[in-house]
Structure 1
Amino acid sequence: MKLAKQQAASHFTSPIPTPFSPVIISAYLLAGMATLLSIVYFDRSIAEFMHQQSRSNLMFEGFSKIPLMLEIIAATIVLMSFSKRYQTRLFHIRQIIILLAIFASIIRVGAKVLFGRTWPETWTNDNLSWISHGVESFHPFSLSNSFHSFPSGHALLTFAFASLFWYFTPQFRLLWIFCMAAVIIGQLGQNYHFLGDLLAGAAIGTLVCQLTINGYVHYFLAQKKAQN
């Protein structure tokens, strides 16, 4: 616990990059393989099972809204960072939060348009879905919301912000792990997304967070050297 607090303090005052070690690269590759296997073999059967079990579930619905809670935490940190008391301590995390929100939102929308996957259930405007129409397919570069299931934006944002908060406050890692698991359970339990959508969103969100932190750190260090 003491080590975690020391690491968090050092990250707050002078963030350090997280290198793409063999373990981290392997984790991303495994996530990609799991996503592909889920799309090919498991997504449709899981969606059918969830549909058969579907009923109003306040826990699943609450879990599916985890991104909103993390966004509120992020907004609170940004607002606090402008006060004199926290200005210095929260400067770096404020900058990274803003960058992460921008990059994650762009990638979220861009990826959905790029892949254009149908949804597991029909939600609005009689959108094509596996449950209602027996259709599960990809329609690349579709601008219609009917084909924006992949990747899950909820999973992407949750893993992006939870990874960021884990980086700065590792002593609360169990809370951030809970958030990551909860959004997967909630979205899957409500049949809002295929499992493959959620796995892809989780991997992309984590990757975007790592790239944002590393990019910011390298830019910050370059600016510091230029000033010296």
Structure 2
Amino acid sequence: MPTHQPLSYFYCMKKSVIFYVVLFCITLFSIFFIDRNLADFLYQQNFANAFTSSFTSSFTKLLSNTPVLLEVLAGAVLLSCAIPKMRKRFSLLAMHLAMTLAIASLVRLGAKALFGRTWPQTWVDNNPSWISDRLEGFHPFAEGLAYNSFPSGHALFTFALASVFWYHFPRFCSLWVAAMLGVFIGQLAQNFHYLGDLLGGSVIGILCAHLVIGLSLSVQQGVFKENSGNTKVAKSDT
């Protein structure tokens, strides 16, 4: 049975503001001072093209696709709700997952179009990149996949789904942390994204889950207070 995090721990407004401000500052620092040098280092070490073994290559590619594993797990939860017994047990989790996936998908598309960042390496249709052309920058509302580096969709979905699962199953927190770290390691090892892209995606992913669960809790508390008020009125009438 899912066990939820205490509201005071997970949704303290002051702590939340500090948390997001710190992550925002770290993301900006990475974009301005780390991303390009790190991309050069990874390329020079041949992490993206010539791994020391096929096992290492396969392992890092698997890590880079961490969100797929979480999406499969989320899909299994949603499908399980077709069974009445499972629906009663996982209905709230399924609702949180569905809403988080929907919001994360919309935010991902909008954010990539809004920021329009070029990629660290050339991957599709000779897209301009830092490694090939020494070009790195943000081009708001530029069209095409060549400008879809920021934020990382892989990090966004991984952190969004892992955050929801963490809230409902905190006893498996080490598993959710491993998923979060895994997508960073896999994406960086392949040089698919800048570190700043991954940080930005992780912040947005956590925020999506945070908003969904926070809204759900607010609605639940409102319903509880209303029901309590009705109960008191009914007792006073008797």
Match of 2:208 in 1: 208
Q: Distance in 2 between matches of 1:175 and 1:35?
A: 24
Q: Could you list the per-position Cα deviations for residues 93-127 of structure 1 after superposition, in whole angstroms to 9, with x for gaps in the alignment?
A: 11111111100000011100000000000001000
Q: Can you give the 5+ residue segments of structure 2 that lack an aligned partner in the other structure?
A: 52-56, 231-238
User: What's the offset of the Cα at 1:217?
Assistant: 2.4
Match of 2:37 in 1: 45
Match of 1:68 in 2: 68
- 1:110-125 residue pairs with structure 2 within 5 A? 110-125=110-125
Q: Distance in 2 between matches of 1:84 and 1:60?
A: 39
Match of 1:146 in 2: 146
User: What's the offset of the Cα at 1:26?
Assistant: 1.6
Matched, 1:35 2:27: yes
Matched, 1:160 2:182: no
RMSD: 1.9
Q: Residue type matched to 1:159 in 2?
A: F
Q: Distance in 1 between matches of 2:42 and 2:173?
A: 29
Q: Residue type matched to 2:121 in 1?
A: E
Question: Which one is further off, 146-155 or 18-27?
Answer: 18-27
- How many residues are paired up? 219
Q: Residue type matched to 2:149 in 1?
A: S
Q: Residue type matched to 1:62 in 2?
A: L
Match of 2:170 in 1: 170
**What SS does the aligned partner of 2:94 have?**
helix
Matched, 1:133 2:133: yes
Q: Residue type matched to 2:111 in 1?
A: A
**What SS does the aligned partner of 1:137 have?**
coil
Larger of the two Rg values belongs to structure: 2
Structure of greater relative contact order (alpha carbons < 8 Å, 6+ residues apart): 1
Q: Distance in 1 between matches of 2:64 and 2:16?
A: 27
User: What's the offset of the Cα at 1:60?
Assistant: 1.2
**What SS does the aligned partner of 1:89 have?**
helix
Q: Residue type matched to 2:201 in 1?
A: G
Q: Could you list the per-position Cα deviations for residues 129-174 of structure 1 after superposition, in whole angstroms to 9, with x for gaps in the alignment?
A: 0001110010001231100100000000000000100000001000
Q: Distance in 1 between matches of 2:45 and 2:59?
A: 14
Q: Identity percentage over the alignment?
A: 40
User: What's the offset of the Cα at 1:195?
Assistant: 0.4
User: What's the offset of the Cα at 1:222?
Assistant: 4.0
Q: Residue type matched to 1:173 in 2?
A: C
Q: Distance in 1 between matches of 2:167 and 2:149?
A: 29
**What SS does the aligned partner of 1:85 have?**
helix
Q: Can you give the 5+ residue segments of structure 1 that lack an aligned partner in the other structure?
A: none
Q: Distance in 1 between matches of 2:64 and 2:167?
A: 23
User: What's the offset of the Cα at 1:221?
Assistant: 4.2
User: What's the offset of the Cα at 1:23?
Assistant: 2.8
User: What's the offset of the Cα at 1:226?
Assistant: 6.3
Q: Distance in 1 between matches of 2:164 and 2:152?
A: 18
User: What's the offset of the Cα at 1:225?
Assistant: 5.9
User: What's the offset of the Cα at 1:89?
Assistant: 1.1
User: What's the offset of the Cα at 1:58?
Assistant: 1.6
Q: Distance in 2 between matches of 1:16 and 1:93?
A: 16
Q: Distance in 1 between matches of 2:18 and 2:226?
A: 35
